[in-house]
Amino acid sequence: MEHNYVISLCCPDRIGVVASVSGFIAEHGGWIVESSQHSDPAGYFFMRTEIRASSLPFGTEEFRDRFSRIAEDFQMVWKICDTAVRRKVVILVSKYDHCLSDLLYRWRNQDFSFDIPCVISNHEDLRSMVEWHGIPYHHVPVTKDNKAAAFAEIERLFNDAGGDVMVLARFMQIIPPDLCERLPGRIINIHHSFLPSFVGAKPYHQAFARGVKLIGATCHYVTADLDAGPIIEQDVIRVDHSHDPSTMVRLGRDVEKNVLSRGLRYHVEERILLQGSRTVILS
Amino acid sequence: MEHNYVISLCCPDRIGVVASVSGFIAEHGGWIVESSQHSDPAGYFFMRTEIRASSLPFGTEEFRDRFSRIAEDFQMVWKICDTAVRRKVVILVSKYDHCLSDLLYRWRNQDFSFDIPCVISNHEDLRSMVEWHGIPYHHVPVTKDNKAAAFAEIERLFNDAGGDVMVLARFMQIIPPDLCERLPGRIINIHHSFLPSFVGAKPYHQAFARGVKLIGATCHYVTADLDAGPIIEQDVIRVDHSHDPSTMVRLGRDVEKNVLSRGLRYHVEERILLQGSRTVILS
Amino acid sequence: MEHNYVISLCCPDRIGVVASVSGFIAEHGGWIVESSQHSDPAGYFFMRTEIRASSLPFGTEEFRDRFSRIAEDFQMVWKICDTAVRRKVVILVSKYDHCLSDLLYRWRNQDFSFDIPCVISNHEDLRSMVEWHGIPYHHVPVTKDNKAAAFAEIERLFNDAGGDVMVLARFMQIIPPDLCERLPGRIINIHHSFLPSFVGAKPYHQAFARGVKLIGATCHYVTADLDAGPIIEQDVIRVDHSHDPSTMVRLGRDVEKNVLSRGLRYHVEERILLQGSRTVILS
Amino acid sequence: MEHNYVISLCCPDRIGVVASVSGFIAEHGGWIVESSQHSDPAGYFFMRTEIRASSLPFGTEEFRDRFSRIAEDFQMVWKICDTAVRRKVVILVSKYDHCLSDLLYRWRNQDFSFDIPCVISNHEDLRSMVEWHGIPYHHVPVTKDNKAAAFAEIERLFNDAGGDVMVLARFMQIIPPDLCERLPGRIINIHHSFLPSFVGAKPYHQAFARGVKLIGATCHYVTADLDAGPIIEQDVIRVDHSHDPSTMVRLGRDVEKNVLSRGLRYHVEERILLQGSRTVILS
């Protein structure tokens, strides 16, 4: 089956970056399938290039070696990934199943390419649905008293599963700051508001109280700072005076799952580059 | 020319409100053109009914007299308006012309029905455009030192023009609290963010800094509380990492003018009923 | 549990319709939860009213008897439904599971209220998913040679299940004209294009060939006239030159399932009234 | 003032295109401001690169000379444009002013960069508005009997004005096939439907009759084949049963003007490349 290499990089902007990267690729016969770039006014350059693997005479290891000189010259932060190696997405859920359900559907239908080595939950409710898909389900109860131990267990399960990214699919628990710091840019959350409005608990109730005419959802990287990490994707849906908070919860589910799945797709396809607290999405 | 009467009302919800209102209308041969209602979970009932004027044997005065008994019975806050009497919209602008330009276009094209008795500005820049439309333009400079006098002059011009509603079409000045209080539900502002995010100055710069993926605009009634009045209408537009604040300003103009004109239409068509700090839009 | 009666009606427009209906309701103490109406320029009047069942001293039977005089006077086509009696939705699928999957999710989550007495398919592929939900799955192979017998079997299963509405959730088979005629306004299809563009087979390929910038989906009632029945709901999604037909298929799935579920919700909540080949959606 | 060179090209896809182009640019010190590309599955490659003019030691003439060898090697169809040289947009209108009004607003506000050397109309109605902007207005009556002469005159005026592109801003006249052929990819029309639905006259009436739930507009290049030229941009707006054709006309105006202005911006910024009857928009 055809697979590609994805090179994504960021460096200070300078004449010749594209020429060097594309020159290197062409020199080795690399066939570019897709490429996009961004020159930031602040002086940074971002690039993502997808190359047909079969067109290159070597694999990612040797690519890494050979490309390193260019990378150093331009002070690049960069990586190369093989689309044949699927990202391992560990999903954390609580009792709500809409985001989990949607991710399982997209995984089943290969809507985009990723693996789910396991699902972790602080409740038993969604076990049957997950196991029907042939995916292991780990129950880790989280209480006021066992928070540290529970999250240690979650981290252990994540590592044992070889998790690349942890997705909080409406997990309803705050991730301890030290875990956030050990997995920078590797924990993705879906928040059920259009951030920065309505951080914290019960955002639909906050939205109702303020009388907004659109409600939204935000997919973002988790940092130690609650609901303040870099935003990956957002969307909104129209509401009106006839919608009470419980109707907003129902309508919002569709936005939440769409926003989360789009954000996760950007992540596993290596389309997201970080620039401070902002994201560059090369699609 | 055909015109209609618009009855809009709010009262504690009770059995028989619709029956009484529609019974009264039918009894006098009233032909209902359009009607909508809302029962709030909090126990309030809202209704807007549009009746063909020619179907009734009397005008708004006599309607008011005859209907008053029902209105009292149900403790209604209500009014009746004649669509033949166009709302007088006094527009306040500064130097940006996108919202003004759009409102002038919609007035010219009778996109919806309203009059513009005059435009007031703290700058001379837009005089020619306004006067080309045959509309008076008043220049009232506002400085740090003359704020009170300037707003007194603005209020006088508004009253002399018989203004029904004052529209801040990117006016860039804060309305004094006492003026807000003298014109409750009669001053409409367009704020260039998706409130409650990014209140105050330079919202597009705030949006850029936070890295949001959608920017928006909010049309709201002005109260003494800055950018916190009841929201009438909102909308958003997608942005990405390639959009700097100045591009957001450009893209945002389209959202601002659309949101303002929709909000103003709801107002002049008597579609907006207030419920505390929230709006009920009966469309 | 609280349930409501839904009265939906259509009649020639005349003074007094609302007064009569709401007068009747008020007279018997009926508490109106929600009501909407539409006066068509062509002279027809449409109304849908939802009344709290517990507020009336009688049930739907007696309502029918007592209301019949008013209904006759105004030449109404009307019905009353009890929200406690869930509509029975029989789903027909082929091999694609996105629409089915979405409907099962919404059924599980009570996104809106309906029952699925059974799923019928011309393939075995989706049996396990359906049966996991505890819903019977009937396999009725359809071939060129057995079409009449197969559809007779499908109709029998539909009737045995007490089906109220048949949903073609990407069923990929053309319903025989006589079956369409026996179930007018009771078969709902999702077509994967923005009708009337791209009727018939492979609409995404047609859309790609024409180079459109938006692709869509249409939920409509099935008539003997292929893809030409009354449209219930439509939506679109943006595409560009980089999307080939297979990508459109993937992106289109999300639109299809959303459009179908919204259309089905309107149907089971008795919000759809037919006016010739057009639908009036009272929401 | 800072200006850029825009190189846009199309060629058979081959290893080394990007390397050659970007190598050439880097070799001469060219600073890339923005770049995007597209590899078509059919084997064609499309690229648009914007270079800061001041970073190159030569102008467009010498660029053309020096680049020609690479262009030949790769069999490129290509061009270079200077953003300092504004595209001359000749606007043709009839009596409706919404698209014209919007383009004049965007021109005044430099929403994007273009010139309007003149406006041509078969009616006198919009003269005053155009002349207020200081733009010449030519009245060329078109009747059944003078069609050939009238269009000869229009073509002469277009050529005398040095027109780069002719925009039919709701011109309401069919352009003669021979004129279409003399200006391939240089006549832009806005059609008031979501093509390919509702070609020809009165599309909103057609949309109403079919009962669609969204109406749209299409910006496309004009070819001898009516409403069938390559689509540049499209958008839609939601309608419902309460909207009669005249309301659709009013609502549709907003979509038409937005779609036309976006399409025209792509054109004057050299973002559109043609691939048969489809457009590649490199934005």
pLDDT digits (tens, 9 = 90+) for C122-152: 999 999 999 999 999 999 999 999 999 999 9
Q: Taking the alpha carbons of C256, C257, C260, C265 in that order, is the dihedral positive or negative?
A: negative
Q: Is D181 on the interface with C (CB under 8 A)?
A: no
pLDDT tens for B113-167 read: 999 999 999 999 999 999 999 999 999 999 999 999 999 999 999 999 999 999 9
pLDDT tens for D229-244 read: 999 999 999 999 999 9
| H or E, element range at B34 | strand B32-39
| Overall average pLDDT of the A26-40 stretch | 96
Chains that touch B (3 or more CB pairs under 8 A): A, C, D
Q: What is the dihedral of CA C39, C40, C43, C47, to 10 degrees?
A: -40
Q: Please, are residues A232 and A271 in contact by the beta-carbon 8 Å criterion?
A: no
pLDDT at B41: 87
Residue D41 pLDDT level (bands cut at 50, 70, 90): confident
Q: Is D196 on the interface with C (CB under 8 A)?
A: yes
Distance set, CA D172 to CA D202, D209, D233 (Å) = 11, 22, 19
Out of C65, C111, C227, C254, the active site residue is: C227
pLDDT at B96: 96
Q: What is the nearest CA distance from A266 to chain C, expressed in angstroms?
A: 15
Task: Report ipTM for this prediction.
Answer: 0.95
Domains and CATH numbers, chain A: 4-82 (3.30.70.260), 87-281 (3.40.50.170)
Ramachandran quadrant class, B171 (left: phi over 0; alpha: psi -120 to 50; beta: rest): alpha
Q: Which of B68-72, B182-186, C28-32, D40-44 shows the lowest per-residue confidence on average (mean pLDDT)?
A: D40-44
Q: Please, are residues A277 and A12 in contact by the beta-carbon 8 Å criterion?
A: no
Peptide bond before residue A230 is cis, with ω within 30 degrees of 0:
no
DSSP per-residue codes, B80-120: EEETTS--BEEEEE-S--HHHHHHHHHHHTTSS--B---EE
Distance set, CA A79 to CA A36, A65, A185, A274 (Å) = 15, 12, 14, 13
Contacts of B7 (CB under 8 A, 6+ apart): B21, B47, B48, B49, B50, B51, B63, B67, B78, B79, B80
Helices and strands of chain B, counted as H and E runs: 8, 13
Cα distance from N-terminal residue to C-terminal residue, chain A: 23
Q: Please, are residues D218 and D195 in contact by the beta-carbon 8 Å criterion?
A: yes
Task: List A139's β-bridge partners, or say none.
Answer: A121
Q: Is A23 on the interface with D (CB under 8 A)?
A: yes
| H or E, element range at B132 | helix B127-132
pLDDT tens for B153-174 read: 999 999 999 999 999 999 999 9
- Who among B19, B32, B35 is closest to C25 (CB)? B19
Residue A200 pLDDT level (bands cut at 50, 70, 90): confident
Helix pair D17-27, D60-73: axis angle to 10 deg: 150
| H or E, element range at A11 | strand A4-12
With pLDDT > 70 as the criterion, what percentage of chain B qualifies? 100
Residue C110 pLDDT level (bands cut at 50, 70, 90): very high
Tell me the residue ranges of DSSP E strands in chain D.
4-12, 32-39, 44-52, 77-82, 89-93, 119-121, 137-139, 165-168, 187-191, 214-221, 231-238, 272-275, 278-281
Q: Please, are residues C14 and B8 in contact by the beta-carbon 8 Å criterion?
A: no
Cβ separation B101–D97 shorter than 8 A: no
Contacts of C213 (CB under 8 A, 6+ apart): C238, C239, C240, D231, D232, D233, D234
Distance set, CA C242 to CA C197, D19, D45 (Å) = 21, 21, 11
Residue that has been written with the tokens 């979509």 in this structure: D255
Contacts of D144 (CB under 8 A, 6+ apart): none
pLDDT at A255: 97
Residue B1 pLDDT level (bands cut at 50, 70, 90): confident
| H or E, element range at D203 | helix D203-210
Q: Please, are residues B233 and B219 in contact by the beta-carbon 8 Å criterion?
A: yes
Chains that touch D (3 or more CB pairs under 8 A): A, B, C
- At B2, the amino acid letter reads E
Neighboring chain B residues of C25 at a CB cutoff of 8 Å: 19
Classify burial at D114, counting beta carbons within 10 Å of its beta carbon; exposed 0-12, middle 13-18, buried 19 or more: buried
- Who among A26, A35, A39 is closest to D33 (CB)? A39
pLDDT at B88: 98
pLDDT at D1 over 80: no
Cβ separation D196–C210 shorter than 8 A: yes
Give chain B's length. Answer: 283
- Average pLDDT of chain B is 97
Q: What is the nearest CA distance from B57 to chain C, expressed in angstroms?
A: 14
Active site residues of D: 227
C-alpha A226: how far from its chain's center? 17
pLDDT at B98 over 90: yes
Task: List D166's β-bridge partners, or say none.
Answer: D90, D187
Cβ separation D234–C213 shorter than 8 A: yes
Residue that has been written with the tokens 């277009």 in this structure: D158
Cβ separation A39–D36 shorter than 8 A: no
pLDDT at A147 over 80: yes
pLDDT at D25 over 90: yes
- At D196, the amino acid letter reads P
Tell me the residue ranges of DSSP E strands in chain C.
4-12, 32-39, 44-52, 77-82, 89-93, 119-121, 137-139, 165-168, 187-191, 214-221, 231-238, 272-275, 278-281
Neighboring chain C residues of A238 at a CB cutoff of 8 Å: none
State the SS3 of B51-68.
Answer: EEHHHCCCCHHHHHHHHH
pLDDT at A1 over 90: no
- Who among C23, C37, C55 is closest to B19 (CB)? C23
Q: Please, are residues B24 and B56 in contact by the beta-carbon 8 Å criterion?
A: no
Query: How many CB atoms are closer than 10 A to CB D52?
Result: 15
Cβ separation D16–A26 shorter than 8 A: yes
The two tokens of residue D154 are 């229009």
Tell me the pTM: 0.96
Active site residues of A: 227
Closest CA to B84 of B36, B49, B51: B51
d(CA C51, CA C37): 15
Residue C84 pLDDT level (bands cut at 50, 70, 90): very high
pLDDT at D61 over 80: yes
| Overall average pLDDT of the B28-48 stretch | 96
pLDDT at A226: 87
pLDDT tens for C42-64 read: 999 999 999 999 999 999 999 99
Closest CA to D116 of D129, D125, D103: D103
pLDDT at C1: 74
Cα distance from N-terminal residue to C-terminal residue, chain D: 23
Q: Which residue of A has its CA nearest to D50?
A: A39
pLDDT at C38: 97
Closest CA to C196 of A186, B130, D216: D216
Q: Please, are residues D47 and D9 in contact by the beta-carbon 8 Å criterion?
A: yes
d(CA A68, CA A80): 11
Count Cβ–Cβ pairs < 8 Å, chain B vs chain D: 27
Q: Is B235 on the interface with D (CB under 8 A)?
A: no
Residue that has been written with the tokens 């003018």 in this structure: B257
DSSP per-residue codes, A55-91: GSSS-HHHHHHHHHHHHHHTT-EEEEEETTS--BEEE
pLDDT at C200: 87
Closest CA to C264 of C30, C99, C62: C99
Neighboring chain B residues of C20 at a CB cutoff of 8 Å: 26
Residue D226 pLDDT level (bands cut at 50, 70, 90): confident
d(CA C79, CA C68): 10
d(CA D194, CA C38): 27
Q: Determine the residue among D214, D238, D282 to mutate to test chain C binding: the one whose Cβ has the most chain C Cβ atoms within 10 Å.
A: D214
Q: Please, are residues D51 and D280 in contact by the beta-carbon 8 Å criterion?
A: no
Distance set, CA B15 to CA C23, C28, C33 (Å) = 10, 9, 10
Chains that touch C (3 or more CB pairs under 8 A): A, B, D
- Who among C198, C231, C241 is closest to D213 (CB)? C231
Q: What is the nearest CA distance from D221 to chain B, expressed in angstroms?
A: 24
- Average pLDDT of chain C is 97
Q: Which residue of B has its CA nearest to A280?
A: B241
Q: Please, are residues A45 and A38 in contact by the beta-carbon 8 Å criterion?
A: yes
Active site residues of B: 227
pLDDT at D200 over 90: no
Chains that touch A (3 or more CB pairs under 8 A): B, C, D
d(CA B7, CA D36): 56
Neighboring chain D residues of C210 at a CB cutoff of 8 Å: 195-196, 231, 277
Cβ separation B97–D111 shorter than 8 A: no
Strands B165-168 and B187-191: parallel
Closest CA to D253 of D270, D237, D229: D237
pLDDT tens for B233-249 read: 999 999 999 999 999 99
- At D111, the amino acid letter reads D
Classify burial at C63, counting beta carbons within 10 Å of its beta carbon; exposed 0-12, middle 13-18, buried 19 or more: buried
d(CA B233, CA B266): 9
Residue C41 pLDDT level (bands cut at 50, 70, 90): confident
Long-range contacts of B65-73 (CB under 8 A, 24+ apart): B66/B24, B66/B28, B67/B7, B67/B24, B70/B20, B70/B21, B70/B24, B71/B9, B73/B20
Neighboring chain B residues of A260 at a CB cutoff of 8 Å: none
Residue that has been written with the tokens 């076990």 in this structure: A127
